[in-house]
Amino acid sequence: MDAKQTRSKAGGLPPGRLAIFVAYVADAARRAGYDIDSPRGGGKTQLAKDAGIDPSTLSRFLAGTRSIEPGSFEGLARALRVPVRELLVRGGVVSSESLPEWPNPDVRSRPITPSEAATELGITDPVNREMFLAMVNRLRRQRAAERDDADGGAAAEA
């Protein structure tokens, strides 16, 4: 198979570049807790499910024989807990120069907790932290009560 055929089968990346991208994704998967080296394939299957990628496509990608479509990068970034920007650059979709840093490149697979928000906001004083968490909990209860009132009002009208 010549280089052009290898390149098109691998999704446009030269084989060396694909190998580097695969190594990055595999390392990120291990750091995220996926056992992608298991002979049973459970870690690969779970990663594929969490990323919204066909398991056979992910398996061929990790074997270095096929790239993945850029449309799958967002789900993969979320599952790996890495910035999608990093996948776009490492996957050869865009250059780092053409894609400026985003204000917050973190990709989250779930909403953060109030405690995590306090930490990210730098609220370390125990009293201030307790006040912050109490206010968040109060606002959550108030919002839930407003939703319940709106749902109850709609039900009463029906």
**Cβ atoms 10, 21 nearer than 8 A:** no
Q: What is the pLDDT of residue 3?
A: 42
The model's pTM: 0.56
Range of the domain at 84: 3-90
Helices 73-80 + 42-51 axis angle, to 10: 120
Question: Quick check: is 82 in a domain?
Answer: yes
Q: Any residues with CB less than 8 A from the CB of 60 and at least 6 apart, and which? A: 66
pLDDT, averaged in runs of 10, over the chain (158 residues):
41 76 92 87 89 92 89 91 87 78 55 82 88 92 87 56
Question: Quick check: is 98 in a domain?
Answer: no
Same domain, yes or no: 84 and 125: no
Q: Which residue has the tokens 């398991």?
A: 55
Q: Name the domain boundary from 57, 90, 123.
A: 90
